Amino acid sequence: MPGTRNQDHNVWQDIVWVLAGVAAVYTLANAAAFLFNLRPLRPRKDITSGDTLLIVVAHQDDEAIIAGGAMARTLDKGGNVHVVYTADGVTRGPSLTEDAARARIARRESESLACLADLGIPGENAHFLRYENQEGLTEPPNVMRAVDYVAELIKELEPYAILTSAFEGGHCDHDMTHFIVSRAAETARFPFERVFEAPEYNRYYLREYLLRKLNDILFVKVNLPPRFLPPVSPSFALDMSRGEIARKRRLFGHFATQKPQRLAARFGFPDQFRPLSRPDYAKGPYDPRESLRYRFVDRWKHKDKAPFYGGLTNEDYRKLYERLQEETPAANAR
């Protein structure tokens, strides 16, 4: 009947319009992502030299993440790099036997050694302290031992700079490593203006969370380089060339256990640093309840548990840092 055919025609026309609209929105979103990705990280500068650089991180891949560019450039200038790893890189679970854990630790260490060798850094410059992931550095005596180790190394090496991860409530081992570096620099009387921290990840920003979801469907992925918690200034990016960024991305290929492609997508940007912040560690940021992301996302997922960390609660971490700061009062200095 003519009437029905007419209705069919209208329905198909509507579907075509809707599909065209979706295609237009999708194209625009991809174009916006492309334009967004053209913005360079600013300001840019070079802090490297041809002397010894000391990097202190928690895990075997954090060195490439925070300082892939700084390491390469130091070597290019005829310098030398040492890396301290505070944690063993393997989070235990009920199904993981001790033998399997040991094998995994060895594997992660060999990945870091291959990354360092690729840059021309000898294996003896890697210092593995091997505190158990997410557990070892919740024991104050272990933390103090790590402080002493790093302080001695600073005195021995007299580095031109020390690089570490920011205290940002992303991973408890990163945060405790920040505390260790802060205390070790103080113990070794190393000038704080030559200690720098780098962002890796935190769980504060709602925008990052939403854009990552959007990236799942976009053809052109929005670049989301790590972002410092406020105050972001005076942070800067190492002035890396395209070639240097490509080289940093290739370093992630050594970390087969850590999804190299994901590492490259997430951290394949110029190194970013700012002078080491000197927070009151007992105030967090492991308790992010003021953040929008916590209010809209994490609150429902984590309830009263620490939204950022494994087994401990926010209160446990507050007490741990309080105790550590009491034992090392100078760490309270701002």
Cβ nearer to Zn ion, comparing 59 with 73? 59
Q: Which of 17, 69, 34, 14 is nearest to 267 (CA)?
A: 69
Per the CB < 8 A criterion, the answer to whether 157 and 54 are in contact is: yes
Q: Pick between residue 48 and residue 177 the one whose CB is nearest to Zn ion.
A: 177
Burial tier of 98 (Cβ tally within 10 Å: 0-12, 13-18, 19+): exposed
Compare residues 62 and 132 and give the one whose CB is closer to Zn ion: 62
Minimum CB distance to Zn ion smaller for 57 or for 81? 57
Q: Which is nearer to Zn ion, 56 or 324 (CB)?
A: 56
Contacting residue, 58, 66, 188, 264, with Zn ion by CB under 5 A: 58
Which has the closest alpha carbon to 245: 92, 9, 41? 41
Residue range at the interface with Zn ion (CB under 5 A); choices 1-9, 10-18, 52-60, 122-130: 52-60
Query: CB atoms < 10 A from the CB of 239, how many?
Result: 18
The residue range among 2-10, 59-67, 104-112, 189-197 that interacts with Zn ion, by the rule CB under 5 A, is 59-67
- Distance separating alpha carbons of residues 76 and 70, to the nearest angstrom: 10
Q: Which stretch binds Zn ion (CB under 5 A): 56-64, 183-191, 206-214, 236-244?
A: 56-64
Three-state SS letters, 235-256? CEEECCCHHHHHHHHHHHHHCH
C-alpha separations of 76 from 20, 48, 177, 181 in Å: 52, 10, 27, 26
Q: Under the criterion CB under 5 A, does residue 178 sit at the interface with Zn ion?
A: no
Shortest Å, Cβ 248 to Zn ion:
16
Residue nearest to Zn ion (CB): 59
Closer to Zn ion at the Cβ: 62 or 168? Answer: 62
Q: Which stretch binds Zn ion (CB under 5 A): 32-40, 45-53, 55-63, 209-217?
A: 55-63
Number of amino acids touching Zn ion (CB under 5 A): 3
Pick one of 48, 55, 59, 278: the residue that binds Zn ion (CB under 5 A).
Answer: 59
Given the complex with Zn ion, which of 80 and 86 has the nearer CB atom?
A: 86
> Closest separation between CB of residue 200 and Zn ion, Å?
7
Look at residue 164 and give its three-state secondary structure. strand
Report, in Å, the least distance between residue 212 CB and Zn ion: 18
Annotate 187-230 with DSSP letters as a single string: HTT--GGGEEEE----S--HHHHHHHHHHTT-SSPPP----PPS
CB 167, min distance to Zn ion, A: 13
Site for Zn ion in 62-101 (CB under 5 A): 62
The C-alpha atoms of residue 9 and residue 13 are separated, in whole angstroms, by: 6
CA distance 1 to 67: 72
Site for Zn ion in 207-266 (CB under 5 A): none
C-alpha 282/C-alpha 318 separation (Å) is: 5
Residues that bind Zn ion (CB under 5 A): 58-59, 62
